[in-house]
Amino acid sequence: MTINVAVAGASGYAGSEILRLISAHPDVEIGALTGATTAGQSVAELMPHLVSLADRTIEPTTTDILAGHDVVFLGLPHGHSAEIARNLGDDVLVIDCAADFRLTDSHDWEKFYGGEHAGSWPYGLPELPGQRSKLRGANRIAVPGCFPTGATLAMLPAVVHDLVHPDLQFVSITGTSGAGKKASVGLLGSEVMGNLRAYNTAGKHRHNPEIRQNLGAYSTVPVTVSFTPVLAPLSRGILTTATAPLVAGVTAEQAYATYAEFYADEQFVSVLPGDQQPQTKSVVGANMCQLQVEVDEAAGRLVVVSAIDNLVKGTAGAAVQCMNIALGLDEAAGLTVNGVAP
């Protein structure tokens, strides 16, 4: 069958990456491409790397233009998805790449995002236990945040199998595209090149409650999360180092074996062998999360490093993966596990 797909926010980083992926999807026909400030401009002007769509024009983001498609991807700023989704029928699969429907706790939404909480949709991280059954046949899906994807996959097996006490610490080094395609002094090349800078530290980052929500659902005791993001001079990629206190008696061999078994059937998660470490350049363009699992015996802590492309497994790839599951297609359609090198 052929799926007719519209992309709102098509000229942003998330939207353009969705277009790149679905352009190679065997079951997709690309319908409307919409934007706000870029309406009326051509894909050739805005996204010259999308050669196969060069003759297409960005239209205004309105319900009338988006209606009538089988699938609508929303690559819009936070707070803009709810109204559009309300006006699209239940026969349309709406996949939101913003945060509007990720959080189940309205107090967390109001604290970290402000405004009225629009509710929650099925959460688009298929690797969570039992999550695929919630995504199959769904007509509304909330794509996870990029940081929560790398952090959750890094600590999920340890929390599920009680390898650690859930006092979880994450440090994530990220490229600039995670901030979106907007003008900002702090993201200018002169500000970023040759520099590393932590930001939204000490629990202030909006992804804190999402990480806590994801992992807390699988813990028998309350989970604490300390998350520190660090901006690096990269266009894309997130390298996360996750640590937690080990439960007494857990060995390095047991920890590695637990992770290897947990992700054995997950085609988009790779537990690396031996001492091989994840690196962001290995996952550029791939819908892949690479992991390495170790035990720091002297500190009594589990150490897990994850690498993802924030625009693929962290956003657009996850969105396409979820579409495939919801519609009963091959989960890997339009996606690749292979990165781009050098």
The tokens describing 113, both together, are 């995002």
User: What's the mean pLDDT in 311-336?
Assistant: 97
Close Cβ partners of 204 (under 8 Å, ≥ 6 residues apart): none
Active site residues: 146
- Where residue 121 falls (left for φ over 0; alpha for ψ -120 to 50; beta otherwise) is beta
Residue 189 confidence (pLDDT): 73
Cα(55)–Cα(29) distance, integer angstroms: 15
Residue 145 confidence (pLDDT): 94
CATH placement of domain 145-306: 3.30.360.10
Does the pLDDT value for residue 179 go beyond 70?
no
Quick one: 1-143+312-325 is in which CATH superfamily? Answer: NAD(P)-binding Rossmann-like Domain (3.40.50.720)
Residue 172 confidence (pLDDT): 96
Burial pattern 166-182, b for ≥16 Cβ within 10 A else e, equals bebbbbbbbbbbbebbe
Outline which parts of the chain fall under CATH 3.40.50.720: 1-143+312-325
- Tell me the pTM: 0.94
Does the pLDDT value for residue 74 go beyond 80?
yes
Does the pLDDT value for residue 184 go beyond 80?
no
Outline which parts of the chain fall under CATH 3.30.360.10: 145-306
User: What's the mean pLDDT in 223-234?
Assistant: 93
